[in-house]
Amino acid sequence: MPISPEQQAEIDALRATAQPTLRAVSEGMEAHLYNAHEVLDHGFIRVIDYMGDDAAICQAARVSYGKGTKSVQSDAGLIRYLMRHWHSTPFEMCEIKLHVKLPVFVARQWIRHRTANVNEYSARYSILDREFYIPEAGNLAAQSVINNQGRGEALTGEEAARVLEYLKGDAARCYDHYAEMIDQEGQQGLARELARMNLPANIYTQWYWKVDLHNLFHFLRLRADAHAQYEIRVYADAICKVVSDWVPAAYGAFEDYRMGGANLSGKAIDCVRRMLKGEKVTQETSGMSKGEWREFEGIIG
């Protein structure tokens, strides 16, 4: 299970201890604070701390031209304007710190986003728990024949069962050898920093991940996308639910302009204008490559 009884008791104790504050508080985020949201078979995300709310975004945006304009435009309208015109700095005024438990291979993909502060559980000092990500049978799929980074048809029957047995057996065997190497029956075993090299990439690690809202939105735009790898997408989906309660106006604008919107090149916009005038436009007359045209068709339907 992702959360042990001892960890849950600690969370309950933290949530039972209220602190008076003069800081801006998001009621939606307060409901999530410290609580663990389960992801995959042993993973979770939980909010450790946060700063700011929708009002903090507007406060930062208005600092350059005065408080007196506030009555002209609602906070939600201003936030939508900022998102629509790619004004990033006001969103950087909000921050979130997450405690995340995730498989190592997901962590290595996640860490490609280099705009956060990260502190990871160290297997040089501590012994990793015997917990591995084992996919559900429905998430086992063959390599896609059209996308080198994606999955194709789901494995079924004996093939799926064989793969699951490999994953379980290899993970257990690697951990057994890891534990044996660091504990030589009372004798001095192999250094933990060396023994860890034998652990599989589906073992779980943990880290604290602190990021501002602007860079978090960039992470979510890529990782909550339907084309993202399932194992990281479910973490992004869980974070989306938290963020939508934390900064509902900002998240609504993000959903509309980033997740639900699309960027068009100059050539694509020219094609749209020509189509609106009744002209039949093809890939050959568009000035786009076949790949660009395929993506353009996907956008306009």
Residue 223 is a catalytic residue: yes
Residue 144 is classified by DSSP as: P
Amino acid identity of residue 217, one-letter, is F
**What distances in angstroms separate CA 275 from CA 16, 26, 115, 281, one per listed residue?**
61, 46, 40, 7
Helix/strand/coil (H, E, C) string of 182-244? HCECCECCCCHHHHHHHCCCCEEEEEEEEEEHHHHHHHHHHHCCCCCCHHHHHHHHHHHHHHH
User: What does DSSP say about strands 36-39 and 43-51: parallel, antiparallel, or unpaired?
Assistant: antiparallel
Amino acid identity of residue 141, one-letter, is A
Task: Point out the catalytic residue in the list 80, 196, 223, 258.
Answer: 223
Rounded Cα distance, 102 and 221, in Å? 20
Neighbouring CB atoms inside 10 A of 97's CB total: 16
Q: Comparing C-alpha atoms, which of 239, 200, 195, 199 is closest to residue 218?
A: 239
Catalytic residue list = 223
